[in-house]
A = this chain, B = another copy of it.
Amino acid sequence: MDTAYLEKLLYQVKNREMSVGQALESFKTLPYEDLGYANIDQHRNLRTGQAEVIFGEGKTPEQIAGIVSHMIKNNERILVTRADKQDYQAVMQTVPEAEYDETARIILIGGKPEPVKTKGPIAVLTAGTSDIPVAEEAALTAEYLGNEVDRIYDVGVAGIHRLFGRLDRILKADVVIAIAGMEGALASVVGGLVQVPVIAVPTSVGYGANFGGLAALLSMLNCCANGIGVVNIDNGYGAACLASKIRIGK
């Protein structure tokens, strides 16, 4: 419901180019397409600056395939996150060119765009090997949104020289995504070393008093270092969206 849109409508009404009834009608129905079980947002791109992405978790393969086949009409690229193989198979029946990344659990349609290279890349760091699926969700999403990504994995602070060994690559980034489970200390240390915004992603990697990622989440929220924004546990996708908005403004 952006002001510009409303203003244009008012002018059309004023100029008798549109009746009041039509104005009300268009106001209600234009920006999305109703499938009954889902309202496809055709204009979100314009409004919030990011293409439509389907969050696959909790949706049936049929629902996902249905949404994709409607969206394909107006979108060059579509991303389905938290998708399993069954979802992929359902999508492929309508959109055979769809690709599937098993580690990231993402269905990609339309291929990655040419990355914006006038800036430093988004550095995607993980503390351990087990955090890689979340990191790949972030990295693929960021690339799909037009970013260059530098993957720097398994650099947790328990062996801090591994992190320092990559410091030059990390310092070249425009945004850093720090992904860690267990105690999540990676975000604190990185936040104290770099000048750019850091997005911290707690993961559910761990056991016992980790409580499904709670330990890393609380740790990251309490970081002493400044300039750190935290997203939900395992939310690689959300981190990538924020990083992309910071780096290339959409």
Contact = CB atoms under 8 A, between A and B. Distances in A.
Report which residue of A57, A181, A206, A245 has the largest number of chain B beta carbons within 10 angstroms of its beta carbon.
Answer: A245
Interface string A142-176: 00000000000111111111101111100100000
A13 interface: yes
B232 A221 contact: yes
Contacts of A195: 47-49, 245, 249-250
Number of copies: 8
B196 A188 contact: no
Contacts of A132: 37
A75 interface: no
A235 interface: yes
Contacts of A234: 207-208
Contact of A224 (B32, B182, B193): B182
Given A164-B28, A207-B233, A218-B209, A127 B224 contact: yes
Contact of A32 (B55, B159, B216): B159
B227 A157 contact: no
A109 interface: no
Given A3-B24, A49-B195, A222-B232, A227 B215 contact: no
Given A13-B10, A184-B183, A222 B230 contact: no
B227 A230 contact: no
Given A31-B165, A226-B50, A219 B221 contact: no
Interface residues of A, number: 115
A118 interface: no
Interface in A182-230: 182-185, 188-189, 191-197, 199, 202, 204-230
Contacts of A212: 208, 211
A116 interface: no
B10 A192 contact: no
A85 interface: no
A206 B222 contact: yes
Contact of A189 (B38, B160, B197): B160
A128 B199 contact: no
Contacts of A196: 49, 245, 249
A11 B20 contact: yes
